[in-house]
Amino acid sequence: MSAHPLLEVDGLRVAVRRDGTALTVLDGVSFAVGAGQCLGIVGESGCGKSLTLRAAMGLLPPGIERTGGEIRLSPRAGAAPCAVPPGQAAGRGLAMVFQDSHASLDPTARVGAFIADIVRRRTATSRAAARRRAVELLASVGVPDPALRFGSYPHELSGGMRQRVAIALALATDPRVLLCDEPTTALDVTLQAEILRLLDAARADRGLGMVFVSHDIAVIRQIADVVAVMYAGQIIEMGPAPDVLDRPRHPYTRALIDAVPTLDGPIGRFRPIAGSPPAPADYTPACRFMTRCAHHVAACSGPVPGVDGLDSRHRSSCVNTLEAR
């Protein structure tokens, strides 16, 4: 990791505006990603992991906006990150791969032409050079017969091939940080492994910073160096992947890992977490997992210490961390 991180998210707050009231859905999310590093964000549906990525990308849906915190992006390799004002797209330097490859490709544009178009806008090269670059990009993500596939429409490609094209599209701008929003969730397991290998290779070859969001702990374990666990709009635990996943400190992380059935684990180890996460309207400064937690103590009702995510040491927001007991 170089001296400066490529992308810093510091105290990010995002709110949904409805009927004149603002409902905070992301509350003080902080993390940093350096060159060649992959941050995995894991959590259950609705915890705000995708929203975090979209906020960083500047792709928030209408009615949802950034209300606090800073997003800083390194303008060039080796340079200190600069703040991106809210409401403005981080744009250059960031690219995103989406879960649904159908939604991320224009159904009426030939895939190669779409990529070449973006290459051309960015580098102001000739049509022919942009075309060559697009074919190269398609080849680099493992699309067989890239020159032929250049002229295909998205509906003519399989799901795995579409996701490869989507990755080529994201790489077309030479991003420094790649944001991946569950890019493997819609694929079957063998394809999932191939796409993960592909993303990992892109990260290693290009020194990409990567933020990888998934609800699948196995996928996160495979690709991430640093893991952040999100619950109810907050990061509640963060640290190096093996530490967080094998020696979780927050009871929620423990419960999340235990909720995944294993083939080799003892029978009966499959334990769903009782209850459901609070709705954003019920978010309080107290621990939001408290009501579902087997280890809660009186101090849990007080304000919880935040997770300072700007380093990669193993930290948890639990006042009664598992390790401490």
Partner 1 sequence: MAMITPAAVSAVTPRASGWTRSAAAGLLALAILAAVLAPLLAPADPALLTLDQLQPPSAAHLLGTDALGRDVLSRLLFALRTDLLLMVFAAGLPMLAGTLIGAVAGYRGGVLDAALRWVADIFQALPVYVLLIAFVFVLGPGTASLLVAFSVLGWVVYARLIRTEVRRVRERDYVSASYLLGLSHTAVLFRHVLPNALRQSLVYLATDMGMALQGIAVLSFFGLGVKAGTPELGAMVSEAQLFLRSHWWLAAFPGLTIVILGSSIAALGDRLGDRLGGRPVGRLSGRLGGRLGGRGEARG
Residues lying near partner 1 in the complex (CB under 8 A) are found at 57-59, 61-62, 89-92, 94-96, 98, 100, 103-110, 114, 117-118, 121-122, 153, 169-170, 172-173
In the complex, the smallest distance separating the C-beta of residue 147 from partner 1, rounded to whole angstroms, is: 18
In the complex, the smallest distance separating the C-beta of residue 300 from partner 1, rounded to whole angstroms, is: 39
Q: Residue 174 and residue 197: Cα distance in Å, rounded?
A: 19
How many CB atoms sit inside 10 A of residue 165's CB? 26
In the complex, the smallest distance separating the C-beta of residue 22 from partner 1, rounded to whole angstroms, is: 21
**Residue 85 or 91: which CB sits closer to partner 1?**
91
**Residue 57 or 319: which CB sits closer to partner 1?**
57
User: Position of tokens 């992991």?
Assistant: 49
In the complex, the smallest distance separating the C-beta of residue 95 from partner 1, rounded to whole angstroms, is: 7
**Residue 108 or 190: which CB sits closer to partner 1?**
108
In the complex, the smallest distance separating the C-beta of residue 6 from partner 1, rounded to whole angstroms, is: 17
Task: Give residue 305's Cα distance to chain centre.
Answer: 23
> Residue 34 corresponds to which tokens in the numbers above?
């350096």
Rounded to a whole number of angstroms, the CA Rg of the chain reads 20
**Residue 106 or 205: which CB sits closer to partner 1?**
106
**Residue 57 or 241: which CB sits closer to partner 1?**
57
Kindly write down the DSSP assignment for every residue of 35-48, as one continuous string. Answer: TT-EEEEE--TTSS
The sheet that has 21-33: what strands, in order across it? 21-33, 7-18, 64-73, 82-84
Closest by Cα among 36, 39, 13 to 25: 13
